[in-house]
Structure 1
Amino acid sequence: MLKAVVFDMDDTLLSINLSAFLAVYMMDEARLLADIARTNPFSAFATFGSALLNLTNNARDDDDDRTNRAYFNDTVERRSGVPLDDPVIADAFTYYEREVLPRRNDSIIAAHPRSGAHEAVETLLDRGLRIALLTNPSFSRACIECRMGWGDMLDMPFELVTTMENSTRCKPDPRYYLESLDTLDLAPAEVLMVGNDPKRDFPTPDCGIQTAYVGSGKPVRSTWCGSMAEFAEHFDEIEELFYERQERGLLDIVQDTSREK
């Protein structure tokens, strides 16, 4: 039974030039890191960028249970000597992300609510479905809330918002998805993911979570493809397709079990 719908954020519920945002965010944080480390800004940018890349690529051992925040902080400290978890240093970055970054939205980043996003959330809540924001947790809570503010999402009743601080992997690692669902006390068969990224919004390898795709193209693994603006209008169809795909999956399992016997 479908119990919850979980959303990606960037270019799903929020329209944003993500490349422009990342450029501004990384350059600003690298400058801050350079000031603290008393080093060259270009060196600090390389340190910050490589640590973020390793985080998003899940470049660590399977038995590494550190949160994404701890992994990122440890990587930066090893390469720059700056302990990002020092309270004074952490406060400096948090101040930037809460007070400065929200004012960095401009005509190039162009962040604003995606067409149909609020209608989609209202439709799901009216039907009694639970919602969560499964945005890629390669950013802090403060940084994610900045973008949520740009998308008028801060008042949406998400039961979980994934961040650096509460996740141990990034998309598309199934561990990220399964840990998030475990927090929500949900099984993969009870959840529909909504996202626009053909690589990150489909758990890889598959762990039983279906995805409604609102990006460009039509990935084979998607349960439904369309725009975010069409999601609410077509939700009856999406729900039917969800159950049809679930039934086909159960049938495949039964057939595979019969062949093994």
Structure 2
Amino acid sequence: MIDTLLFDLDGTLLPLDIEIFTLKYFNELCNKFESIFEPRVLQEAVWASTKYMICNTQKEKTNKDCFFEDFQTRIERNLEELFPIFDEFYNKDFVNLKDSVNPNPVVKESIEILKDKGYNLVVATNPLFPKEAIFHRIDWAGLNADDFKLITTYENMHYCKPNIQYYEEILELINKKPDNVMMVGNDVQEDIISSKLGLKTFLIEDCLIDRKSPVYIPDYRGSISDFYEFVNELPRLKNKC
């Protein structure tokens, strides 16, 4: 029986155009580091180190460890000099991206219903960002971070989507079996891949991403409004998890 729902963030809990969001993200980041890096150099280094982080399968290294391990090889600056600037960027400058998202009140209503019915909730966003950046986006969606049993960030996770180990790690952290869990997301290859472990899946189509390969078939699919109706039909849990 399903008693836990995992939610992707960007394009699912928080509707957005990922291309516009990414463009604005790099504009803000490059402005922050303009006295240190040329924009092209910084952007290429961040993309390359992000790819390195996504490809990591060494469980002893967090995603953050992997990112900066590779980033250091691509720059001629000491990381200790850069960490405070990154921290300030994600705490302060990152909020300038808020105008590039389109929060949907139906998301908040769905989460409220699930909370009331006693379901465990997890933000299973691709952990490419630090906690601060992810918590900002949860807030922009009109949600409260305290409502989630786990929020995946690059500090607390050791794998990224679409690695299946990412979902295995979540199940381990929340002590749940696949039969008890549903993944809700808008990206076929990154979110619906969780079905390989036996999780039920719901594909949100409002901001659909489908690269066509590999092919994964969700158990349910529809708009965020369809998901709201789905949530209304879920049973109330007798014993809250």
1:68 aligned onto 2:63? yes
Map of 1:183 onto structure 2: 173
Q: Map 1:36-185 onto structure 2 (within 5 A).
A: 36=36, 39-55=37-53, 58-60=54-56, 62-63=57-58, 65-84=60-79, 86=80, 89-106=82-99, 109=100, 111-155=101-145, 157-185=147-175
What percent of counterpart residues are identical? 26
5+ long unaligned stretches in structure 1: 240-261
Moved more, 20-29 or 206-215: 20-29
Q: How far did 1:155 drift?
A: 4.8
Q: Is the 8 A contact 1:133 1:162 kept in 2?
A: yes
The residue matched to 2:10 in structure 1 has which SS? coil
Aligned equivalents of 2:232 and 2:139: distance in 1? Answer: 29
Q: How far did 1:27 drift?
A: 3.5
Deviations for 1:96-149, whole angstroms, at most 9, x for unmatched residues?
11112113333xx2x132242112111211211110100110111111112122
- CA change 1:52–1:26 in 2 (3 A) is farther
5+ long unaligned stretches in structure 2: 236-241
Q: Is the 8 A contact 2:182 2:201 kept in 1?
A: yes
Q: How far did 1:220 drift?
A: 5.4
**How many residues are matched?**
229
Aligned equivalents of 1:153 and 1:4: distance in 2? Answer: 17
Higher radius of gyration, 1 or 2: 1
Aligned equivalents of 2:88 and 2:166: distance in 1? Answer: 28
The residue matched to 1:16 in structure 2 has which SS? coil
Map of 2:4 onto structure 1: 4
- CA change 1:130–1:204 in 2 (3 A) is closer
Between the two structures, name the one with larger relative contact order (CA 8 Å, sep ≥ 6): 2
Aligned equivalents of 2:134 and 2:209: distance in 1? Answer: 27
Q: How much is the aligned-residue C-alpha RMSD, in angstroms? A: 2.4
Q: Is the 8 A contact 1:8 1:195 kept in 2?
A: yes
Map of 2:24 onto structure 1: 24
Counterpart residue type for residue 98 of structure 1 = N
